[in-house]
Amino acid sequence: MSDLVLFWHRNDLRILDSVGLAQACHSAARVIGVFCFDRSILSREDIAPARVVYMLGCLKALAEDYRQAGSQLLFVDGDPVDRIPQLAATLKAKAVYWHHDVEPYSQIRDEQVSTALKAHNIQVHTNWDRLLHDPTTIRTGNKQPYSVYSPFWRNWNSQPKPAPVEVKLPKSELTPAEIQALTQLPTIDLPTATELGFTWAAPLIFEPGTTAAAQQLVTFCHDSIYQYDEQRNYPAISGTSGMSAALKFGTIGIRTVWAATTAAVTAANSETALAGITTWQQELAWREFYQQALYHFPSLAQGPYRDHFKQFPWVNDKTQFKAWCEGKTGYPIVDAAMRQLNQTGWMHNRCRMIVASFLTKDLIINWQWGEKYFMQTLIDGDLAANNGGWQWSASSGMDPKPLRIFNPYTQAQKFDQDANYIRKWVPELKSVDTKMILSGDLLPLTRHQVGYPLPIVDHSIQQRLFKELYASVK
Ligand SMILES: Cc1cc2nc3c(=O)[nH]c(=O)nc-3n(C[C@H](O)[C@H](O)[C@H](O)COP(=O)(O)OP(=O)(O)OC[C@H]3O[C@@H](n4cnc5c(N)ncnc54)[C@H](O)[C@@H]3O)c2cc1C
C-alpha cells in the first residue's frame, strides 16, 4: 500500500488550521498538495482579474510553505474530473483529501471527481473546513435550514466553537520513479495572470498569502475591532478588517479567526469594546448564513428567492447600467463607490449596499446584472456572500423587510459627513462645497464647470416607480 496521499486545495490556500490537511497528515507518511487550474471556472464571464492575481499570490506563498516543510504543491491545468484522478493514479496515492464547498458547481464537480477516484480504487476523504458550523448542523426547531438571519445568529452563536487545528506536514519527498511518472502528466509551473488571460495592473489592495492574512487579523484584533461597532459604516476610515479576500481564499482558518475574537473579548475593557467584537462576530455569522443558504437553496444562484420577483418588470436601461458601472451616475456617493471598486477591486460594505440599492431601486435594473458586475471586479467576489448581498439589496432575498430603499443623499450625509470619501474617488468634486456635494444641490453649471455629470435619474420619481412596480407583482 502506498504511503502517499494528496490534498486537493481549492478555497483553502493554507497549511495551518486545516481540518482535512490535519487528517491527511495523520493518515500517511507523505502528503503532497495539488491545485488544479479549472478552466471551466476561469473561462466564466464573471471572473475578476484582481481576484485571479490575488489567488496566484496566495498560491505562490502556499507553494513556498510546502517547500519549506519539505513537501511540494503540484499544479495541474484542465478539468479536475480528469486531472485529479490522473495525478493520484500516476503517483499511486492511496487517498485524496479535500474540503466541502457550498457552491452548486463545486458540489457536482466534487461528486464526479470522487466517482472517478473510486473507480481507480483510490480513497476519498472530505471534511467541512470553511465554516465554524457546517450547514447541516445549524437547524430550526423543525429541523429546517434557516432563511432568516436573526434566529440563525442566535442558534449559531449559542453553539461551542471549534478550536484551531494543528497541522504537522511531514517531509514528503517524491521518489525518482514518481518524479519520472510526473513527466507524463500535464503538471505545470505556477502560471502568470497574463498566461491565464487576465490583466490587472494596479497594486493589490490586500497582500496575498497566509502571513499577510495572519498579520491583518492581529492588527485588526489589536485595535479596530474594539471600535468596529462605531466605525464600520464610514467608508472614509479604515474601520473594518479587510479580511474578506483572505476568508474567500482560505489563507486563514476560520477557527483561528474566531479564537482571535475570543482573545479580544478577554482583553476588552469597556462595553463599547465588547459591542465592537460582538458586531464583528455577527458579520462572520452573516458569512456563514449566506453559505448555508446557498448550500440548502442552490437555486439562489440562478434567481430570486422570492417567487414574485421572477416577474418583476425591470427597466434594464443599458446606458444607465454603463454609467453605474463607470461611476458616472451624477450621484457622488454612488460614483465614488463604483470608482473605488473599479480602481482597487474592493468596496466598503456600506457602499456596496448603497450602490446595490441604487442599481435596483433607482435605476430599476435587474440585481443579477449588478451581481455579475461585482463578481467581474471584486477581489473578494464570492458567490454566496455576493448573491446574498444583492438579493438583500434588491428585496428579492431572505430578508424579511421587503421595501428597503436607500436615499443616496441621506446615506452620504450620514456616513460621509465631510465628503472625504467622495472627494477621494471623485476628484472633480475636490473643491466643491461639502454641503452641496452631500445634499445633491449641485447646480448644473457647477457640474458642467468641474466636469461632473448631471444625475441620470431623479431619486424621488424612481422610488415611487419602483414601489408601483413592486405592488404590481406582489
Ligand atoms: C451587494 C453586496 C455584495 C457583496 N459581495 C460580497 C462578496 O462577493 N464577497 C464577500 O466576501 N462579501 C461580500 N459582501 C459583504 C461585505 O460587503 C464584505 O464582506 C465586506 O465589505 C468585506 O470587507 P471586510 O473584510 O473589511 O469586512 P468586515 O466588516 O471586517 O467583516 C468581516 C468578514 O465578515 C464577512 N462579512 C461581512 N459582512 C458580510 C455580509 N454582509 N455578508 C457576508 N459576509 C460578510 C466577510 O468575510 C468579512 O471579511 C457583499 C455585500 C453586499 C451588500
Of the candidates 8, 15, 37, 35, the residue with the CA atom closest to the CA atom of residue 123: 8
| Tens digit of each residue's pLDDT (9 = 90 or more) over 441-450 | 899 999 999 9
According to the model, what pLDDT value does residue 398 have? 85
Nearest CA to ligand 1 atom 16: 349
State mean pLDDT over 299-308: 92
Give the Å distance between the CA of 147 and the centre of ligand 1.
Answer: 18
Confirm whether 258 is a catalytic residue.
no
Structure confidence at residue 1 as a pLDDT band (50, 70, 90): low
Residue 172 has pLDDT above 80, yes or no: yes
| Ligand 1 atom 2: residue of nearest CA | 389
Pick from 181, 189, 134, 255: nearest CA to 2: 181
Separation of CA 297 and ligand 1 centre (Å): 20
Report which protein residue has its CA nearest ligand 1's atom 11: 244
User: How far away, in angstroms, is 444 Cα from ligand 1 center?
Assistant: 36
Q: What spacing in Å lies between the alpha carbon of 341 and ligand 1's midpoint?
A: 14
Neighbours of 227 (CB within 10 A): 15
Is residue 6 within 8 Å of 96, Cβ to Cβ? Answer: yes
CB 291 within 8 Å of CB 100: no
Query: Catalytic: 314?
Result: yes
Q: Ligand 1 centre from 350 Cα, in Å? A: 10
Active site residue 369: no
Beta strands in 309-465 (DSSP E): none
The pLDDT of residue 400 is: 66
Tell me, in angstroms, the distance from the centre of ligand 1 to residue 289's CA.
12
**Residue nearest to ligand 1 atom 30, measured at CA:** 241
- Percent of the residues in the chain that have a pLDDT greater than 90, as a whole number: 95
- Decide: 125 and 25 in contact? Cβ < 8 Å: no
Query: Among this protein's residues, is 286 annotated catalytic?
Result: yes
Ligand 1 pocket residues where CB is under 6 Å: 232, 240-244, 247-248, 283-284, 286-287, 290, 349, 352-353, 356, 374, 378, 380-382, 385-386, 388-390, 393
> From the candidates 280, 324, 346, 367, which is the catalytic residue?
367
Q: Which of 64, 128, 178, 286 is catalytic?
A: 286
* Cβ–Cβ under 8 Å, residues 408 and 354: yes
Strand order in the sheet with 187-188: 123-127, 95-99, 4-9, 30-37, 73-77, 187-188
Instruction: Retrieve residue 426's grid coordinates.
Output: 471623485
Ligand 1 pocket test, pick from 51, 244, 393 with the greatest ligand atom count within 8 Å of Cβ, gives 244
Residue whose Cα lies nearest atom 20 of ligand 1: it is 349
Using 50, 70 and 90 to split pLDDT, how confident is the model at 401? confident
Known catalytic membership, residue 157: no
Q: What is the pLDDT of residues 238-276, one digit of tens each?
A: 999 999 999 999 999 999 999 999 999 999 999 999 999
Which atom of ligand 1 has the smallest separation from the CA of 353?
Answer: 53
CA of 282 to the centre of ligand 1 (A): 11
Tens digit of each residue's pLDDT (9 = 90 or more) over 204-234: 999 999 999 999 999 999 999 999 999 999 9
CA–CA distance, 259 with 150 (Å, rounded to integer): 23
pLDDT at position 397 is 86
The reported pLDDT for the residue numbered 204 is 98
% helix, strand, coil for the chain, step of 5: 55, 5, 40
Q: Which tens digits make up the pLDDT trace of 88-117? A: 999 999 999 999 999 999 999 999 999 999
Q: Whose CA is nearest to atom 12 of ligand 1?
A: 385
Residue 8 known to be catalytic? no
Three cell numbers at 465? 416607480
- In the predicted model, what is the mean pLDDT of residues 369-397? 96
Determine the residue of 220, 282, 287 to mutate for testing ligand 1's pocket, defined as the one with the most ligand atoms within 8 A of the Cβ atom. 287
- What is the per-residue pLDDT for 474? 80
Mean pLDDT for all residues in the chain? 96
Q: Give the integer Cα–Cα distance in Å for 407 and 419.
A: 16
| pLDDT (tens digit per residue) in 123-148 | 999 999 999 999 999 999 999 999 99
Task: Check whether 186 has a pLDDT greater than 90.
Answer: no
- Residue 206 carries which side chain, given as an amino acid letter? F
Distance 51 CA to ligand 1 centre (A): 15
Q: How far apart are the CA of 242 and the centre of ligand 1, in A?
A: 9
* CA–CA dist 420, 232 (Å, integer): 16
- Residue 346's pLDDT is what? 98
Give me the percent of the chain exceeding a pLDDT of 70. 99
Among 150, 279, 349, say which to mutate for ligand 1: greatest number of ligand atoms within 8 Å of CB. Answer: 349
**Cβ-based neighbour number of residue 308 at 10 Å:** 13
**By the 8 A CB rule, do 51 and 288 touch?**
no
Q: Is the pLDDT of residue 402 over 80?
A: no
Residue nearest to atom 8 of ligand 1 (CA): 381
Select from 145, 166, 138 the least CA-distant residue to 19: 166
Candidate list 98, 346, 390, 392, residue with the active-site label: 390
With 70 as the cut, is the pLDDT of residue 328 above it?
A: yes
- Residues 331 and 456: their CA atoms lie apart, in Å, by 8
- Cα 165 to Cα 73, 208, 210, 252, distances in angstroms: 20, 22, 15, 12
Q: How far does the chain reach from its first CA to its final CA, in angstroms?
A: 63
Domains annotated on the chain, with CATH = 1-129 (3.40.50.620), 130-162+211-296 (1.25.40.80), 307-473 (1.10.579.10)
How would you label 184-203 residue by residue, b for 16+ Cβ within 10 Å and e otherwise? eeeeeeeeebeebebebeee
Residue 330 has pLDDT above 80, yes or no: yes
Q: Which of 380, 393, 415 to mutate to test the pocket of ligand 1 (most atoms within 8 A of CB)?
A: 380
